Every structure is written in structure tokens, then in C-alpha cells.
């Protein structure tokens, strides 16, 4: 079991829209970055992730689960790009902000804090548990 973080601008695709997709989930399409793609290729069904709102909010708003492993991105014919599907599991009771992450002991090494531009990133078990707890779950 591995843990991840998915960034989305809520203007483009929000947590509420993700929740509305229910059990079927949604293809996490549109990623055009090798590192982010490689992270998705490493994912297994059942892996969990944080759903993070970038730009507006700048906070983790919920937890998602990988429900389909990496397959070709339906929004391009370019064979380099594929992606997973994710479904909403539960919302955070309290959103966990980027600001929180910057000052929270134990999150100094977190990718979210140190590589702001990576849109699909790994999260360690320790980081996962801290943020989950701080989110009231």
C-alpha cells in the first residue's frame, strides 16, 4: 500500500465534482509531466491519496482511492501519456492547508512543500498519518 497526493485547480476539477462521480471514479487525465506520470504508473488499485486544491484554497480537502491502474490517457493520442482513475473516499473534517504543512513537525521533507510544481506526488506513511490526523480523520 502506497500513498500519494493529487493536485487539482478547483476551477478545473474540484473535490465536489470528484465526489459526484461516486464509486465509478474519474480518469485523472491531462498530466503531461514524466515524473507525475511515473508516479501514476507505480500506483496499484487500493492505494490511497490526498486530493489537494491548488491555487484556490491550497489545502488537502479529501481522501481518494486508486480504482483503475495506469492506462492510456483518453484525452491524447500521444502514447507517452497514461493515467490512473481515482474515486473519492471521504472528505477531511478540517482541510489541511499548505501553510499548515510548512510549519508541521514531520513534514519538512514533504514534496508538497519542496517541489511545488509536481502535480502527482508520493506521500510517506508518516506524512500520511500526520495529515490524516490533523484533518480530523
Binding-site ranges for DNA (CB under 7 A) = 7, 9, 32-35, 54-55, 58, 98-99, 115-119
What is the nearest approach in angstroms of DNA to the Cβ of residue 19?
20
Number of helical H runs and strand E runs in the chain = 5, 6
Nearer to DNA, 71 or 116 (CB): 116
Rank residues 48 and 111 by Cβ distance to DNA and give the closer one: 111
Residue 134's φ and ψ, nearest 5 degrees, are: -65, -25
Nearest distance from C-beta of residue 23 to DNA, angstroms: 27
Give the span between the Cα atoms of 100 and 78, in whole angstroms. 38
Between 14 and 35, name the residue whose CB sits nearer to DNA.
Answer: 35
Task: Compute how many other C-beta atoms are within 10 angstroms of the C-beta atom of residue 90.
Answer: 12
Considering the complex, what minimum distance in angstroms separates the CB of residue 39 from DNA? 12
Q: Which three cell numbers stand for residue 23?
A: 464509486
Amino acid at each position: 500500500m502506497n500513498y500519494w497526493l493529487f493536485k487539482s485547480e478547483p476551477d478545473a476539477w474540484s473535490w465536489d465534482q470528484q465526489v459526484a462521480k461516486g464509486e465509478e471514479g474519474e480518469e485523472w487525465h491531462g498530466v503531461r509531466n514524466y515524473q507525475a506520470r511515473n508516479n501514476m504508473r507505480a500506483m496499484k488499485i487500493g492505494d490511497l491519496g490526498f486530493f489537494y486544491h491548488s491555487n484556490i484554497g491550497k489545502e488537502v480537502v479529501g481522501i481518494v482511492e486508486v480504482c483503475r491502474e495506469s492506462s492510456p490517457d483518453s484525452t491524447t493520442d500521444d502514447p507517452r501519456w497514461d493515467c490512473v482513475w481515482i474515486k473519492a473516499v471521504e472528505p477531511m473534517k478540517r482541510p489541511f492547508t499548505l501553510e499548515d504543512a510548512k510549519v508541521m513537525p514531520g513534514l519538512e521533507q514533504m514534496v508538497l512543500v519542496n517541489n511545488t510544481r509536481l502535480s502527482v506526488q508520493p506521500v510517506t506513511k508518516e506524512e500520511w498519518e500526520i495529515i490524516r490526523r490533523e484533518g480530523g480523520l
